[in-house]
Structure 1
Amino acid sequence: MGLFSVALTIPGWPDVVGRMEVIKTDPQRRIGQSEVQAVLAMTDRPSDLDDEFGGRYARPMAAAFLVNTVAPYLKASASSETRKSMMSAASFLCYLTGWMAVDEGAHGRAQEYYVKSLELAGASGDHMTYCHVLRGMSVQAANLGHGTPAVRLANAAAEASPESSPRMRAFLAGQQAHSYALAGEKTNALNSLREAERAVNQAESQLGTFGGFSSATLAYSTSEVRHALGDVKGSVESLHDHFRLRDSSDKQRSNLIFSSLLAERQLQMGHLEAACSTWGKVPDAYPAIHSGRIDGQVAKIPSLLAPYRSNSVARHLLERSRDVSVN
């Protein structure tokens, strides 16, 4: 699977612009905008499956589509406009495939997809996807506990952003806040969090956009900042806010991830019954999710509850979690 590298060299925007113009084209094959639209439509399918069933389920489909269909399209003859559109579509698909690989637990592989996405974004002039990839790389580093690289990537994403709409500022500032908190930079973390709050307030009346950032997302970011700064109680309060604000149609995978985080932090506070109640939803839904991240969270439940086996509720949940982990 490859190992995550904190020292990965990230190509800057000027370095990737036009980098892939030297690719030789296949004169025997020609593509047009219909192929571009097909790639965009097909990208939505594994993305939806990833949200619902997890990265281990969806990533192989996206990867196969990249190799068998999109890669030959990139080498086909096309007009300049179509060629750029195809590279942009391929860049976004690479980004999503990397995101799925992160959820799968294949972090080195995810970085490979991310770097290829950056190159394709530069080749197509897709500055927006380039920015989103850097932010996604920061999320990966932060979730693995690497604060300093997460800050470097989050700041690079903010500096590369081609627009400054309120929702985009919130999207980037929220990640900067979490990264700063993990790196122990409390002042910068709180300043970035306030920036994200101001931007969300400005964007409340706007429709969601690609990578949209909502009040529910802000509550989650606030929870992560508070937890990284040692405020477990505040983190729990913000996660409750997240669940209160999140859309009822939000996907099962993120629901399980955030529920597991909430339960772990409730237990940290000594609220055993509340933690068991929150965790209680996880074993029933878990078998349908193919996610390395959730595998790890479920695998922790028995050891976290072992000291409380004398409590009947905790003992019952411990046994249920063992059963689903084995199956």
Structure 2
Amino acid sequence: MTTPLPRPRPGDRRPTVHCPDRRCVLSAAGGGALEAAVLPVAPLPGANPWGRRGVGREEMTALHRAVAAVRYADSRHGGGNAQAQAAAHLLDQWVRPLLGRPLTEDRQRELCGVGAELARLAGWAALDTGQHSTARHHFDRALYWARAANDPDLIAYILTTAALQATLYGRPSDALALTNGALSAAGHAHARVMGFTKLIEARAHARAGDRRAASAALAAAERLLDKPCPHGTPGWLDFFTRPRLAADAAEIHRDLGDIRACLAWNEQASGMAPNAFTRSVGMRLTVVATAHLKSGDLEQSLALGHRALDILRYVDSGRARDYVRRLAKGLVPHRGLHAVDAFLARLRQEFAPAAHPAPVP
């Protein structure tokens, strides 16, 4: 049995969602072609707003490009970035109207799959900025769209994303129920989808302090990641590579108190490019910095802490700030040392609430 998220009911109040300005939305969509396709001049009262025109491949390509741009902006600039915040707007204003047009069954499923990914991205951006109830609302919507698309891979991925939210914010038992549901939903799904689910299961076990279960789930994730993929990997999972698994494994072992294993896995994570996975790389550096701090290597901890601040300085992510604050909390007993005080002063200056993220290029 799948462990589903509650489905939205008619009349449920939607949370307030930031509506990005037109420039950011068009940037996410790759230009004005999609806007012209799905936002025509208002029809006469009572007329079918779309006529009998179907949804063409050009429009679907533009939507897929928009989803990829939102995903990239989130990873590089954080969930608070305007492009990352465009997901909910794209879903409600551009995808939903297309369902009013004549659609083949395959095109309808494809469109619902795009809707599911946009809703998931909206939820992830909300999670990344500390809006947890809003995130859960969007994950509910994403699951609904994925079911409409009849896509077990996407259903499993959305449940796994919700499990990661539960893991990060202190509910490992809820996370494990969701990963079990994701694996049940996946059935004979893509090996890498199941591998990512097992990785998040390992993180949940680590947060619960279950070393044996975490190690078993991590080993399963490795095996699944290494399985040949004759049909390729879903585009929304292209980030799940050996370096990404290693980055998560470093955090798993940090949480379990195995500093040596944490540092060894960190060596394998160095292939993650900071210009593409900016938030992830910066957060991993804070994880490894806290591991060095636990081992008594204050100098290396501070060096990695400064590197993390360099990378995360213009990333608009409450989650990344939480990771930095955890490092800062560990440094408090060492206050009075010049190097520690300098780091904490830099942190207060550059990560103050009033600090502004860099503009979208």
Post-superposition shift, 1:109?
0.9
Farther off after superposition, 187-196 or 316-325: 187-196
Query: Which of 175, 181, 191 does residue 156 from structure 1 map onto?
Result: 181
> 1:178: Cα distance to partner?
1.8
CA distance in 2, matches of 1:185, 1:285: 32
Aligned to 1:182: 207
* Candidates 283, 306, 311, aligned match of 2:309: 283
Contact 2:282-2:309 within 8 A present in 1 as well: no
How many angstroms does 1:237 deviate by? 3.0
Q: TM-score if structure 2 supplies the norm length?
A: 0.75
1:208–1:35: structure 2 CA closer, same or farther, 3 Å change rule? closer
Match of 2:49, SS state, is strand
Tell me if 1:234 matches 2:261. yes
Which of 45, 56, 63 is the aligned partner of 2:69? 45
The answer to whether the Cα contact below 8 Å between 2:153 and 2:193 also exists between their aligned partners in 1 is no
Taking a change above 3 Å as real, the CA distance of residues 281 and 160 of structure 1, as seen in their structure-2 partners, is same
Equivalences for 1:1-327 in 2 at 5 Å?
10=5, 27-29=48-50, 30-33=53-56, 34-57=58-81, 58-203=83-228, 209-210=234-235, 211-212=237-238, 213-243=240-270, 245-247=271-273, 250-326=276-352, 327=355
Q: 1:249 to 1:209 in 2, by over 3 A?
A: farther
Residues 239, 205 of structure 1: alpha-carbon distance in 2 compared, 3 angstrom cutoff: farther
Query: Structure 1, residues 252-279: CA drift from partner, whole Å, max 9, x if none?
Result: 1111111112112221222110110001
Q: Give deviations 1:69-110, integer Å, cap 9, x for gaps.
A: 222223444343332221121111111221222212211111
- Cα 1:286–1:75 change in 2 (3 A) is same
Higher helix share: 1
- Once the two structures are TM-superposed, the CA of residue 147 in structure 1 deviates from its matched residue by 0.8
Identity %: 23
CA contact (8 A) 1:167 1:203 kept: no
Aligned residues: 306
Unmatched 5+ residue regions in structure 1? Answer: 1-7, 13-25
Partners of 1:286 and 1:91 lie apart in 2 by: 29
Distance, in Å, in 1 between the alignment partners of 2:67 and 2:230 is 28
Moved more, 187-196 or 274-283: 187-196
Larger displacement relative to structure 2 (209-218 or 115-124)? 209-218
Name the SS of the counterpart of 1:319 in structure 2.
helix
The answer to whether the 8 Å contact 1:92/1:117 transfers is yes
Distance 1:200 1:78, change over 3 A: closer
For the aligned residue pairs, the C-alpha RMSD in angstroms reads: 2.7
Q: Deviations over 1:36-84 (max 9, x none)?
A: 3322221112211111110011342222222222222234443433322
- Kept in 2: contact 1:302–1:322 (CA 8 A): no
Which whole-Å CA distance do the structure 2 matches of 1:78 and 1:126 have between them?
A: 18
The answer to whether the 8 Å contact 1:308/1:314 transfers is yes
How far apart are the structure 1 equivalents of 2:48 and 2:281?
48
Structure 2 partner of 1:16:
none
Letter of the structure 2 residue corresponding to residue 40 of structure 1: H
Contact 2:4 2:159 in 1 (8 A): no
User: 2: CA distance between counterparts of 1:205 and 1:314?
Assistant: 51
83-92 or 218-227, larger mean C-alpha shift: 218-227
Provide the C-alpha distance between the structure 1 equivalents of 2:128 and 2:175, rounded to a whole number of angstroms: 17
Report the CA distance shift for 1:66/1:217 in structure 2 as closer, same or farther (over 3 A). Answer: same
The answer as to whether partners of 1:32 and 1:79 remain within 8 angstroms in 2 is no
Displacement after TM superposition at 1:11 (Å): 5.4
Aligned partners of 1:106, 1:317: CA distance in 2, in Å? 28
Moved more, 279-288 or 125-134: 279-288
Separation of aligned partners in 1, 2:203 and 2:169: 12
Alpha-carbon distance between aligned partners in 2 of 1:118 and 1:95, rounded to the nearest angstrom: 8
Alignment partner of 2:80: what SS?
Answer: helix
Query: What CA distance in whole angstroms lies between the structure 2 residues aligned with 1:156 and 1:113?
Result: 18
Distance 1:218 1:75 in 2: 41
Would the alpha carbon gap of residues 305 and 191 (structure 1) be closer, same or farther in structure 2, given more than 3 Å must change? closer
Aligned residues of 2:254 and 2:287 also touching (Cα < 8 A) = no
Structure 1 window deviating more from structure 2 (304-313 vs 114-123): it is 304-313
